[in-house]
Structure 1
Amino acid sequence: MFRLAHLSDIHLGPLPELSYRELASKRITGYINWQRNRKQAMFGNTLLNLVADMRTQRPDHVAVTGDLVNLATRKEIEGARLWLENLGDPAWVSVVPGNHDAYVPGALKRALAAWRPWSVGDGGGTAGHPRFPYLRVRGPVAIVGTSSAEATAPFFATGTFKRGQALATARLLEQARERGLFRVLMIHHPPIAGAAAWSKRLIGKQYFSKVIHDVGAELVLHGHTHLDTLYWLTGPGGDKVPVVGVPSASQAAGGDKPASRYNLFEIEGEPGNWSLTQRERGLSPDSAGIGWVRERQLLSNGTAVDARPRSDAREAGPADAPLAVEP
């Protein structure tokens, strides 16, 4: 059995002191949002405790789907690199960037240069910052990292998945399929219509859907919405591919979004007969500690068999999603 942990939307805090020059950009809106909202919800030991708990579960690998920082200042980017060093060896942790990591022009390039060991494929890639998609193979699992991160105008948090990246992603997924590997595809923005607000949507999700339809995957992981969601995309032959989102790893209890959580996926089987179990673990609503939230098996026919149902779990499925989760 292979155990894959999934964290997202780290939003490391607190914010460092910002210069007037740094604030003279889109960062001013993010700074105000931090002071009014996220400062209260994403501070303290929440993230520290979640990561400590995750370690006790002894995952074989950790996937981090973006938004390590808030405003992508140089100090934040360096702080995130130190956090990654503490999280684990680059061979044990795979990272893709989020929109906050690309908050202003030039930030994404600096972030990826700093975080390169955690966001480059097994071959090492070319010199400079990583190129996406990348491929890592760990045991029976192929991890394909893609990037939807880009700098946007104020009040926008969109991402893009363009045709070129789609073609390269399809090639990596096909190579992994030929090797008989369980394929996990990482992206920050949810590749589902209606999963995020229009101003925060993924542009080019039709390319992503076509990749899944033509080549397939066994699991898609994303962040961005700070919600625990499950959607399905249609793969080759009509098989359904689970698309799983996770709440922010730094979210304190008592807010309007689910409290800090991570996913733990247990992968067993062989090509054509994979078994995938999702176990969610996180902070309880009353801040009493970290415990089990839900356990369910995700089946290729598009159903999720719950073993640990919970009344406040969100099961999402907009009208234009390929298939919604069955309650």
Structure 2
Amino acid sequence: MTRILHLSDIHFGAVDARLVEPVLALAHDLRPDATVVSGDLTQRARASQFAAARAFLGQLPGPVLCVPGNHDMPLHNLALRLAAPFARYRAAMGPELEPTVTLPGAVLQGVNTADPLVWKAGRLRPASAQRLAHSFAAAPPGTIRIAVMHHAPVPAADGTPADMAAPAAALVALAAAGADVVLSGHTHMPHGGFAETAAGVLFLQVGTAISTRRKTSANDLALVTLGHGEVTVESWLSTPGSAGFAPGPIARYARPDAAWKRLTPP
């Protein structure tokens, strides 16, 4: 079995400081094979916020794969956002915006969906879709192919439409690339499901792990376990005022044919 710890929207600059150490302790207790942070490492893409995010990621169990989110580009500095939207991200996190991590039985490919032209909404660039397809095609047969992106082309948990340009085309591109699972954030609401037009792709979103910018009653993260033809998602929740994280709902998914099915009731 392969275990992936999934965090998102950590938003340094708007962090609940009481959660930082509990998240790090839990991350090491869970002993994942890799950790994924699916964007929005900062609140306003400031150098000091990136430095804090880099220090935090450096304490997570590795390898650590992260991708930019829309908050990782300058919002008010339009000139910098258009000329060099990811300069501060690269200075802190390294030059690669779409990294790859290979694990036993799985390949994780980062996808940069942040769009400096519109800032908030995302897009799947043709070059990113092509890179995803090449990365997945190179993986051995039987490998679980996982795309990691900030935005997802599926509705949020509350039914809000996907905050992404041309979501239908993005679904087609992800399915054509051979994606089995997509890990994402952005909505600040945990959610799991599939799309009719991309039934072979399982979309898993988490909320915010340590930020004060919650849209649900708790901060959350997830442990995603791959094995025996199933994907198990274990949620970990921290409600306001609690000292740390406690186990939350567990969802199990299987794909006995071309389409994913949820094995546990929602």
Q: Same fold (TM over 0.5)?
A: yes
TM-score (norm 1): 0.70
For the pair 1:295 / 2:250, whether they are aligned, the reply is yes
Residues 64 and 95, structure 1, Cα contact 8 Å, conserved in 2: yes
Cα separation, 1, equivalents of 2:253 and 2:74: 34
Residues 65 and 100, structure 2, Cα contact 8 Å, conserved in 1: no
- In the TM superposition, what are the counterparts of 1:85-234 in structure 2 within 5 Å? 85-89=58-62, 92-104=63-75, 105=81, 106-116=84-94, 129-132=95-98, 134-152=99-117, 157-176=120-139, 178-192=140-154, 201-233=163-195
Cα separation, 2, equivalents of 1:55 and 1:232: 30
Cα separation, 2, equivalents of 1:60 and 1:240: 24
Residues 113 and 130, structure 1, Cα contact 8 Å, conserved in 2: no
185-194 vs 220-229, greater mean Cα deviation: 185-194
Cα separation, 2, equivalents of 1:210 and 1:62: 27
- In the TM superposition, what are the counterparts of 1:41-56 in structure 2 within 5 Å? 42-56=15-29
Residue 45 and residue 115 in structure 1: after superposition, are their counterparts in 2 closer, same or farther (change >3 A)? Answer: same
Residue 245 and residue 57 in structure 1: after superposition, are their counterparts in 2 closer, same or farther (change >3 A)? Answer: same
For the pair 1:260 / 2:222, whether they are aligned, the reply is no
Equivalent position amino acid for 2:235 in 1: E
Cα separation, 2, equivalents of 1:68 and 1:211: 26
Residues 28 and 61, structure 2, Cα contact 8 Å, conserved in 1: no
Residues 3 and 60, structure 1, Cα contact 8 Å, conserved in 2: yes
Query: What residue is the counterpart of 1:7 in the other structure?
Result: 7
Residues 13 and 43, structure 1, Cα contact 8 Å, conserved in 2: no
TM-score (norm 2): 0.84
Q: 2:17 is paired with a residue of what secondary structure? A: coil
Q: Which runs of 5+ in 2 are unaligned?
A: 76-80
Cα separation, 2, equivalents of 1:252 and 1:114: 23
Aligned residue pairs, count: 255
| Bigger radius of gyration among the two | 1
Q: Which runs of 5+ in 1 are unaligned?
A: 15-41, 117-128, 307-325
For the pair 1:78 / 2:51, whether they are aligned, the reply is yes
Cα separation, 2, equivalents of 1:102 and 1:252: 20
Cα separation, 1, equivalents of 2:90 and 2:104: 26
Equivalent position amino acid for 1:82 in 2: A
Residues 136 and 142, structure 1, Cα contact 8 Å, conserved in 2: yes
Cα separation, 1, equivalents of 2:178 and 2:196: 8
> How large is the Cα RMSD of the aligned pairs?
2.6
Query: What residue is the counterpart of 2:78 in the other structure?
Result: none
- In the TM superposition, what are the counterparts of 1:30-49 in structure 2 within 5 Å? 42-49=15-22
61-70 vs 290-299, greater mean Cα deviation: 290-299
57-66 vs 179-188, greater mean Cα deviation: 179-188
- In the TM superposition, what are the counterparts of 1:269-280 in structure 2 within 5 Å? 269=228, 274-280=229-235
Cα separation, 1, equivalents of 2:89 and 2:147: 21
Per the TM alignment, residue 109 of structure 1 is displaced from its structure 2 partner at its CA by: 2.2
Cα separation, 2, equivalents of 1:286 and 1:172: 43
Per the TM alignment, residue 62 of structure 1 is displaced from its structure 2 partner at its CA by: 0.4
Cα separation, 2, equivalents of 1:44 and 1:279: 24
Per the TM alignment, residue 229 of structure 1 is displaced from its structure 2 partner at its CA by: 1.0
Q: 2:187 is paired with a residue of what secondary structure? A: coil
Cα separation, 1, equivalents of 2:204 and 2:183: 5
Q: 1:202 is paired with a residue of what secondary structure? A: coil
State, as a whole percentage, how many aligned pairs show the same letter: 25
Residues 64 and 94, structure 1, Cα contact 8 Å, conserved in 2: yes
Equivalent position amino acid for 1:263 in 2: A
Per the TM alignment, residue 239 of structure 1 is displaced from its structure 2 partner at its CA by: 4.8
Residues 67 and 97, structure 2, Cα contact 8 Å, conserved in 1: no
Residue 285 and residue 183 in structure 1: after superposition, are their counterparts in 2 closer, same or farther (change >3 A)? Answer: same
Cα separation, 2, equivalents of 1:150 and 1:94: 20
Query: What residue is the counterpart of 1:310 in the other structure?
Result: none
